[in-house]
Amino acid sequence: MKKHIGRELDLIRQERRAELGDYDWFDIENDTVQVGKSRCRIEADKITIFSIMIYPEYEHNGFASAVIDFFKSQYPLVYADRVRFTAREFWFKQGFLEESETLFAWHRNDKNLV
């Protein structure tokens, strides 16, 4: 499935299958050039992001933020799991709250979110 999420940015969802670890994988493309990948698990009313990687030559263009904004528009609950210490500030800037040392969450109706 290919989904246009704005600014010449597309998410291409790979079909979930055992050889990919039973995750939902997304290729992130900017104007048909792959700029990154995301590994998630989609459930009925939430998505858990295990990794989102923008390739170094494409960093600092807002691509990761655009992907997260899209996920937030689609799901009332978004988790970032296995958050590294060096990425904590990024998740705070995205409006996520820390639930544990490595688990951050965004709730659509959370009064602390802008």
Rounded CA-CA distance 31/28 in Å is: 10
The mean pLDDT value for 76-93 works out to: 96
Q: And the tokens for 24?
A: 């939902």
Cβ–Cβ under 8 Å, residues 87 and 56: no
Residue type, 91: W
Check: pTM over 0.95? Answer yes or no.
Answer: no
pLDDT digits (tens, 9 = 90+) for 48-74: 999 999 999 999 999 999 999 999 999
Rounded CA-CA distance 90/88 in Å is: 5
pLDDT for residue 1: 84
Among 53, 108, 31, residue whose Cα is nearest residue 96:
108
pLDDT digits (tens, 9 = 90+) for 85-114: 999 999 999 999 999 999 999 999 855 444
